[in-house]
Structure 1
Amino acid sequence: MLLLLLSRYGRLGASSRLRNYQYLPYLEAKGIEITVAPLLSDDYVTGLYRGRIPWGSVMKSYWTRWQWLRRAADFDGVWVEKEMLPWIPAGLELSGFPKGIPLIADYDDAVFHRYDRHRRALVRTVLGGKIDAVMQRADLVIAGNDYLADRARQAGAQRVEILPTVVDTERYQTRPSPDSPVITIGWMGSPATAPYLHRLAPVLQTLAANQNIRWVAVGANPAQLETLPLTVWPWTEAGEVADIQQFDIGIMPLPDEPFERGKCGYKQIQYMACGKPVVASPVGVNSVIVRHGIEGFLASSTEQWIEALQTLVDDAALQQQMGQAGRARVEAEYSLQVTAPKLECLLRSVMK
């Protein structure tokens, strides 16, 4: 069985790494032969995070992707991350896709809002319904959460299944935090999501008076957070688990906005997999993954954030209890070991 994977990025792109690449060893071991054709290279991702997009290579990438679309008939199915050609109208994008070839479209965020809520009316007019058209054409839409699944159903998708973004629990292991009187409150992310931390500026400033608290952000550009009293650690794929294992508490602040409601809560799952309690904004799937008072706390206001964090800082036993509950929840619902067999079944059910 031959499957063409049209991912958005190479391994440096978190969405592609988590929604696609981490499944490849399992799927290939089950006899699905996968050809991987990312649209954008790791050089693009590196340049994006540094504010220098290599536009020449982007144009070449689009041409290469178009050639892959013309070869799609050689496969038993095509697995697309989000869309085939970003910022290209659906009619043109789908015109290059051969009839009769099963299309599986995968979504881990509300990419449709980049178009239908764009500040320019022309973009909203031309591209506002683009993702809906792709969803409608797809033989199967795989959504990371209910918000995305609901949009696919509203778009008229033939079939919609929910598959959360997960971690490999063989790789993500619990380990006691370093024996230190200092409590580390940590965040894991990228330059794209680091601005959300500014929402916690009053919280950081209030709790900064406590000399027993250290704030850490992994994966941000230091310049993005220079006004906040925290330390920035560089992110690496090889080191991300060890970094989280040094946390005592993991945080995930989000604004309650349409795009953020489509996020898949992956940071929470990472923290929980390492046995860390979580404090997060109750936005979208966040309030599904973390049950308030069990795996962590959900906090909206500054006062709620301060209270939740201070409660955990003051209670090591509660940290351990919530961390254990989080690990158990990940093993049961948010692990690669649980979702990989489900994904295999979904792919086989639509491939010819």
Structure 2
Amino acid sequence: MARIHFWTADGSGSGLYRGVLPAMSLDWIGHKPSAGPRLPEDWREPGFDVVVGCRVAKPGPSRTWREMREAGIRLVMDLDDDYFHLDPSNAAAYQLWSDPRLRQGLVDNIAISDTVTCCSEPLAEVLRDYHHDVRVVPNGLPAQYLGAVRDYNPEILSVGWAGTSSTVHELPEAVRALNRIAEYRRPGGVVVRLVGIDPRTAVACGLKGERLGALGWVENFGHYLQAVAAFDVWVAPYRDIPFNRAKFATKFLESSMLGIPLIASDIEPYRAVIRHGENGFLVRHEHEWGRYLKQLVDDPGLRQQMGMAARAEASGSILQAINVQWEAALSAPAAERAAA
């Protein structure tokens, strides 16, 4: 049984998937975990075993990282994005991580860590240039979401997109198709629902029409999952760039847990999890967004078939299956324990 703290960078989805949820899952198997952007006050006391630091790079946290190294705490650096290949379209993040001091701080802190964890194999390949021991631990969700009952033939059909201000620049890939499907004449109609951006941002991206709903940022994760569970079809457009290829297929994780058919861009990581035409659709060319949307909107049987096929595979992504991977990644190798 180990005392573990996940030192999250913030309270966003990253902090949830790489901190709060893993900590909760390790508690289930007897460890003493905690998670949050603040370190526990007693971290200097004997008996504190492991700190998982999420992208530790700024000067203040970096000093603390070195102090923990000197105190003998096992350090695990976790990254869930490729901060070495940020795209300029994500202006705020690009400007932040273009600072040479911040970038060097991250590199230095990776170097003194015992282990590095990340969410995908493409990201692990990038990080192996900076550390010899990089482990891939995927994102997961509690098993309870597998049991939600779905209506695959609602009167009003909802086509959804979910993202943030840092991913909204991916949305224009599917805007034309979303505008057209919102105007599609179907009994009950079709509404386009956006989670994570406000109406003004949606309009700035080119979305229009009366049958458009933009919910804005949803801070509480339970409320977020409740909002996206209202989708009948989910779209996940992404450009084929190094930063996106290193991501975890989180939208497939969420949609498959909820039994929602997903249409995603044909890039890694979605190419690795979607079997085109069976558990979702993969889009190679812009006009295909409209084709696959219309196909799913017209056919409730296909929506159910794809949603259930995705959900059938989601059992491997539950936290109850992933917590042992976290446990292994956070434990010292046998040879290291013997030397100690």
TM-score by length of 1: 0.79
Aligned to 2:85: 113
Give the total of aligned pairs: 320
Aligned runs of 1:17-96 on 2, under 5 Å?
17-39=16-38, 71=44, 75-83=48-56, 85-86=57-58, 88=59, 95-96=66-67
Q: 2:176 aligns with which of 202, 213, 234?
A: 202
Q: Which amino acid aligns with 2:116?
A: V
Aligned runs of 1:313-324 on 2, under 5 Å?
313-324=297-308
Q: Which amino acid aligns with 1:3?
A: I
Q: Does residue 1:335 correspond to 2:318, yes or no?
A: yes
Query: Can you give the 5+ residue segments of structure 1 that lack an aligned partner in the other structure?
Result: 40-64
Give per-residue Cα distances to partners, 1:196-253, cap 9 Å, x unaligned. 2233222123333303321111221222112413211253423333333322111111
- When the two chains are superposed, the root-mean-square deviation of aligned CA atoms in Å is 3.2
Q: Does residue 1:233 correspond to 2:233, yes or no?
A: no
Q: Distance in 2 between matches of 1:14 and 1:205?
A: 28
Stretches of 4+ aligned residues off by more than 6 angstroms: 67-70, 115-122
Contact 1:169 1:336 in 2 (8 A): yes
Query: Greater RCO between the two (CA within 8 Å, min separation 6)?
Result: 2
Q: Distance in 1 between matches of 2:63 and 2:22?
A: 30
Give per-residue Cα distances to partners, 1:283-304, cap 9 Å, x unaligned. 3312112222221111132211
1:261 positional shift: 2.1
TM-score by length of 2: 0.82
Aligned to 1:53: none
Change (3 A) 1:105 1:204: same
Change (3 A) 1:72 1:197: farther
Aligned to 1:54: none
Change (3 A) 1:183 1:123: closer
Change (3 A) 1:127 1:324: same
Query: Can you give the 5+ residue segments of structure 2 that lack an aligned partner in the other structure?
Result: none
Contact 2:194 2:214 in 1 (8 A): yes
Q: Distance in 2 between matches of 1:35 and 1:283?
A: 35
Contact 2:296 2:302 in 1 (8 A): yes
Between stretches 278-287 and 22-31, larger displacement belongs to 22-31
Change (3 A) 1:27 1:205: closer
1:191 positional shift: 3.4
Change (3 A) 1:195 1:239: same
Q: Which amino acid aligns with 2:7?
A: L
Identity rate, percent: 23
1:4 positional shift: 3.0
Change (3 A) 1:98 1:70: farther
Q: Distance in 2 between matches of 1:113 and 1:68?
A: 35
Aligned to 1:98: 69
Q: Does residue 1:290 correspond to 2:274, yes or no?
A: yes
Change (3 A) 1:193 1:119: closer
